[in-house]
Amino acid sequence: MCMYDGDGPSVSSEVTRKARKVHKCGECGRDIHPGERYSYTWGKWEGDISVHKCCAHCEVLRAWLGDVCGGWIFGMVGEDFAEHARDYHRFDLWRLVAGQNRDWQHQRGPRAGQLMPLPRKPRNLNGRDAAALAQGGAALPSPA
């Protein structure tokens, strides 16, 4: 179910920064514009040093995966989160999958192209979610 297997970096550091120039989110791929907050993570995985940047919107998905799975895999947060939405048939999770697929921007109307408000972290899993997973239920369509 969860992609994260507990293998973390041997050394790491994470800070929240305010962008002074355009950066690319490593989870959704959208541009993080000057003035936006993002997380900057430096770490050493299996002997290799790498840096990961994540927009505040994708941080919400990471926080949820951290609570439910105990962690996440950099660059795979969207895929892991979508798998949970599919397995548990939860609309609140699907809304966040759709937001990430749209680069967290409004698509139509007077706010088209503007950044969506920062979403709240969804509730953690509970007994109803386990029952839905056990039953299987009707599969929901994958987001476009």
Per-residue pLDDT of 90-107, as tens digits, reads 999 999 999 999 999 999
Q: Would you state the structure tokens that stand for residue 36, as one six-digit string?
A: 């936006």
**3-class state of residue 54 by DSSP:** strand
- Residue 46's pLDDT is what? 83
For the cut 60, the answer to whether the pLDDT of residue 2 exceeds it is yes
Least confident window among 72-86, 96-110, 118-132:
118-132
On average, the pLDDT of the chain sits at 89
- Residue pointed to by tokens 């993570």: 41
| Count of Cβ atoms closer than 10 Å to residue 1 Cβ | 10
- Give the Cα separation of 35 and 32 in Å (integer): 9
For the cut 60, the answer to whether the pLDDT of residue 140 exceeds it is no
- Residue 138's pLDDT is what? 44
Rg (C-alpha) for the chain, rounded Å, is 16
Residue 128 banded pLDDT, cuts 50, 70, 90: confident
Hey, where are the domains in the chain?
13-135
- Residue 65's pLDDT is what? 95
- Give the Cα separation of 119 and 73 in Å (integer): 21
Q: Would you state the structure tokens that stand for residue 115, as one six-digit string?
A: 């950044």
- Residue 7's pLDDT is what? 76
- 121 contact partners, CB below 8 Å, separation of at least 6: 60, 63, 64, 67
Mean pLDDT of 108-120: 95
10 Å CB burial of residue 86 (0-12, 13-18, 19+) is middle
- Residue 141's pLDDT is what? 42
pTM for this predicted structure: 0.84
Q: Which residue has the higher pLDDT, 127 or 26?
A: 26
